[in-house]
Chains A and B, each alone.
Chain A
Amino acid sequence: MTHLKTSRLPAIGAAVVYILLSASPAHAQPQTSDARSLLPTLLDEVVAQMDQRLIDAEARTRPLLDEIESQIELPELRAPAAEAVTAYDRPSDDGSAIIVEWLAPDRKAELRERARQQAVKLTDNPTLVDSLAAIVTNELFVNVTYLVQVAKSSEDLVAKSPEDLEAGLFVTIPVTPGAATRKSGNLKYFGLAGENENYCYAEIKPAEIFPPQGPEPITVQQVERFLHDGWPQDAEPSDDAIPVAAAPLQPLLDRANKGYVPQDIRDLLERVRLYARITQFVDEGVLDEEDGIRAITILVDARPEGQLSPAEKADRTWLAGVKLQLRLDRLVAEGFLRDKEAARVRDILPLADQLEQAVAEATVLAESAKEEADQAEQAARAARQAAKEALDEADDETRPQAAEDLKAAVADEKLAKAETADAKKDLLWTRERVRRSRPRQERRELDWLVRLQARLKECDDDAREDAEREINAKTYYFRLAVSEGARREYVTVDRLTIGDEDGAVSVDVPDQWLVLSASAHANAFKWFRTNTLVFALVFSGIVLCFIHVARRNPNLFLRKIAGLDAVEEAIGRATEMGRPAFYVHGYGGPGSMSVIAAINILSRVARQAADYDTRVRVMNLDPIVTAVSQEVVQQAYIEAGRPDAYDADDVAFMTAEQFSYAAAVAGRMVRERPAAIFLMGYFMAESLLLAETGASTGAIQVAGTDAEHQLPFFITTCDYTLIGEELYAASAYLSREPRMLGSLRGQDVGKAFMMVAIVLGVIVLTTAAFFAAREGHVAGWLDHLAAWIRHLFEAIS
């Protein structure tokens, strides 16, 4: 300890004091047991006193609160001002949404102000006035709901009657102001979306509100036939059909065909459409009447998948096959299928149905087998417990028999558990079991059908996405209202501008509701990622600049990296000792940075080994990396003029498993006792295994990894270690190629920038925090600066 510098003593002393202080209680507490038992009592007393004070305060203020609440006039329901309502395409998106944004009247602040005015009449105490105002506001304030009405045309908004705004064709989206909707959606600059207490916004996704419809509109006749003819004799109409039957059909269908109905009605009408097609095909003889009735029975069942029995699920799958059958002619006409393929589909569909029925039956059997097995296991468990109790209560005479019984009960329970496990496995794998029991030809046909359906689904998805894009690209019209209970106030304007830009005319139109229009379109750039792009481009520019500089001046300074300087020493040692060198790759495929860096080092190691006529054995975890390593080593031997010395078995794929790899490599180290070992790449837990084993063989070890959590193990066991980015710098260091050196220098500049940014950022943010409690020009300015700095380095997804 004599070499300890005295200048460091104060720091050590401070650290020790800090540790002791933080380990001890902040306020010295009496250490006696009497004091410890007193403390809870004292605390209880204090809490009780505080409670009593609150009760007293409540008693004193309640009459005042009641007085204020009886006198106060609540803020009237007011719609936002027309100038503060906008609708625009959501920025930086894929064109799927429109934003409607408005500045909501601050009714809470208004209520608070009115409460203050009333409180001032009752008391002079300013603190009491503020408290009373706050309490009254909390008690009386009721949040409003905003309604965004969306229509496909401005006429639809008031289709029936201009006076009766609710009679139009539109979809209403309620928006309750809260944390999620109190944020400006307008991403200014590179995404500085400020949180404004009074701004509300609604995200309108046209494709979700008006999803793609079927090809033909639904007619009243189709619905009536569905309602009156569609039921099989024994079936009851589903609950969903009843609202449809009750409503006047034509207006409902007009709304539905335009897309202005809720999702559940839309789903029901889809089933009507499908029903119409099924009955048409039955009438035309394409589908059997029996199949038709079965399809309709399944169609009217709207229960979710989770509530269906296995047989009902099989029916649903069969219905999907029927839908495919109904589409076959159209698919042939569109060229998606040939006639032969369409015929093949018709032949396979009954097989698919048989498979589903078999799966359903097998599932039912498997479920009942599992139930039985569960019951048997429970019985066996109970029997074991009873046998154990019997053994505990047995006397000397009956003990041997009781022990035998217990042994038998344990064996029975074990068997029952095994059977339960079997039954569970059977249930989970039912479908696959049944499928494999089918003849090979049938399985092949069914697989073909599955592939066809997958391809069809992909095409349908693409078609649906195209349709959604078309829907999103249209112009939509919006109206905004505020609602509180039954009351509703629309946003209105007093002047309207009619006509286009050249001949625009402004007219007075008192209380005309405001109608906004907007359309969504796909944007080309995510503005909220501007900072990332700028940093990436600037950094890339710096690197490329320095590459250019390095070409002119190749003598750029690079500090010594001992691990890389030791490569030649290690290979030389291996040559002298007549033993091989080992090169051990880490994890990762050819796309991994550490693997690419390791391959760079391998090329130098292999070249030197070839020059010195030393064997280098390369061990790989990845097959593609193996292939690349083989090429690299072979090339090294060719460049050294010794192509015949290359042995492909020296560069081998060991295994892709972590500890199998570690065991294989460690085994080879112990058997072949290399003189030099290079461990390069990304390593995990096997790092210590490999390094310790290598150390025990007496080899010189050079390790390099970007897995920083394994560095301590390498540092303690290896002779040289490349830490983190030193591994990436290897190619530049070893080759001294100007382009590589330049990129290293550019990297260092980037690092310097980060260090400066961190220091400056810490200073600004700390100062801003310090001034935050004080008001004034400086505090406000610092606050803005701090927000900007935070935002500059924020990555938004």
Chain B
Amino acid sequence: MPTHQDSLKRLTVTRQIVYLLVATSIILPFLIKGISLPFEAEPGAETFYKQLDRLPAGSHVLMSFDYDPPSKAELYPMTVALLRHCFEKDVIPIVMTNWPSGLGLFEKACEEVAAEFADKGDKKVSGTDYVFLGYRPSMTDLILNMGVDIKGAFTTDYYKQPTAAMPALEGVKSLRDLDLAVALAAGNTVELWMAYGSDRFGFPLAAGTTAVGAPKLYPFLDSGQLVGLLGGLRGAADYEKLIERPDIATSGMVALSGAHILLIVLILGANIWYVVGRITGKEGK
């Protein structure tokens, strides 16, 4: 008769095997060169893409990157893809964050993408072609403040340049003057942007979120409170496909597929074992 200790030991060993298989399924595709899985962008990502793509040059897009390093894997590729799209269209991204621990990431993203375009001869100057406002505390109060006066809420940008006469913010007094706002979130900041921002001040809002957080935002997409939604690494890969710049997210698709297939096989296998156990009368575990 198997004892409780035996069951616990078997569970621990099973768990360790599962961990090893998961690690292998994710790492292996990065080691084997030449594997690629062709894909087309999903309709949801296309809708998001069109919202930005239709904007004329000189439009202002507020980008609120509300995530920190743990969510970097899913949301940083989206950040870079969105900034690239803005710079290609000569649209002015107004970058800010409500999560101070991510400041370094967003500064790096702005600088690297601006440098990319500078290398191609299309110089992007902070304060003129884009602005990195940085972080201010108290998110809901900040949004309400920005709804009345953005420059009052952020008197200087991240680099301590005064915003009062900044060319990148010309014509933008409050959130009502925005052509589009994008919130990339690892938490519940999209709902706060909707409740305190877009529903109140009437600007179009699009969102990008981690894969686990995307399903809860579908109702808002359906009701029109969100004009676009990108979910997880797949959403980032779709966006890279649409702007024709495959990067980290695209290269992660094979690993993602591998991990998902492994999980499906494990779950199917466990269920088959369970059903067989039930049919033969054993207590399948």
* Direct contact between the two chains A and B in their complex (CB within 8 A): yes
Question: Which A positions have Cβ atoms within 8 angstroms of B?
Answer: 1, 304-306, 316, 374, 424, 428-429, 431-432, 435, 454, 457, 587, 591, 657-659, 682, 684-685, 707-710, 795, 797
Which residues from A are CB-within-8-Å of B32?
none
Closest to A713 in B: B212
Question: Which B positions have Cβ atoms within 8 angstroms of A?
Answer: 68, 70-71, 101, 111, 115, 118, 126, 128, 140, 155, 159-161, 164-167, 170, 186-188, 198-202, 210, 212-213, 215-216, 275
The answer on a CB contact under 8 Å between B213 and A709 is: yes
A657 to B100, CA, bound (A): 10
Which residues from B are CB-within-8-Å of A431?
159-161
When A304-B167, A457-B164, A709-B212 are in contact, do A428 and B201 touch as well, CB less than 8 Å? no
When A306-B167, A429-B159, A432-B159 are in contact, do A684 and B186 touch as well, CB less than 8 Å? yes
Q: In whole Å, how far is A579's beta carbon from the nearest beta carbon of chain B?
A: 19
Candidates A304, A658, A797; contact of B202 at CB < 8 Å: A797
Closest to B165 in A: A305
Residue of A306, A435, A707 most packed against chain B (CB within 10 A): A306
A374 to B117, CA, bound (A): 13
The answer on a CB contact under 8 Å between B187 and A657 is: no
The answer on a CB contact under 8 Å between B199 and A587 is: no
If A685-B186, A685-B210 are given as contacts, then 6 extra A-B residue pairs at C-beta distance below 8 Å, sorted by A number, are: A316-B165, A435-B160, A454-B155, A710-B212, A797-B199, A797-B201
Closest to B275 in A: A1
Which residues from A are CB-within-8-Å of B167?
304-306
When A432-B159, A685-B212 are in contact, do A795 and B70 touch as well, CB less than 8 Å? no
The answer on a CB contact under 8 Å between B68 and A657 is: yes
When A305-B165, A432-B159 are in contact, do A682 and B188 touch as well, CB less than 8 Å? yes
A424 to B110, CA, bound (A): 12
Q: In whole Å, how far is B272's beta carbon from the nearest beta carbon of chain A?
A: 13
Q: In whole Å, how far is A712's beta carbon from the nearest beta carbon of chain B?
A: 9
The answer on a CB contact under 8 Å between A685 and B155 is: no
The answer on a CB contact under 8 Å between A657 and B101 is: yes
Q: In whole Å, how far is A316's beta carbon from the nearest beta carbon of chain B?
A: 8
Closest to B160 in A: A432
17 residue pairs of the A-B complex, CB under 8 angstroms, read A305-B165, A305-B167, A305-B170, A306-B128, A316-B165, A428-B159, A429-B160, A587-B187, A657-B101, A682-B188, A685-B186, A685-B210, A708-B216, A709-B212, A709-B215, A795-B199, A797-B202
A304 to B166, CA, bound (A): 10
A503 to B68, CA, bound (A): 74
A667 to B199, CA, bound (A): 42
Q: In whole Å, how far is A481's beta carbon from the nearest beta carbon of chain B?
A: 30
Q: In whole Å, how far is A538's beta carbon from the nearest beta carbon of chain B?
A: 20
Which residues from B are CB-within-8-Å of A424?
111, 115
Q: In whole Å, how far is B67's beta carbon from the nearest beta carbon of chain A?
A: 10
A709 to B216, CA, bound (A): 7
Closest to A377 in B: B119
Which residues from B are CB-within-8-Å of A316?
165
Closest to A320 in B: B165
List the 7 closest pairs (A to B, CB-CB), nearest first.
Answer: A797-B202, A306-B167, A432-B160, A306-B128, A305-B167, A709-B216, A428-B159
Closest to A457 in B: B164
A476 to B170, CA, bound (A): 29
Which residues from A are CB-within-8-Å of B155?
454
A429 to B111, CA, bound (A): 12
Closest to B68 in A: A658
Q: In whole Å, how far is A714's beta carbon from the nearest beta carbon of chain B?
A: 13
Which residues from B are CB-within-8-Å of A454?
155
A534 to B200, CA, bound (A): 18
Candidates A428, A457, A587, A710; contact of B126 at CB < 8 Å: A428
The answer on a CB contact under 8 Å between A684 and B187 is: yes
A306 to B167, CA, bound (A): 6
Which residues from B are CB-within-8-Å of A710?
212
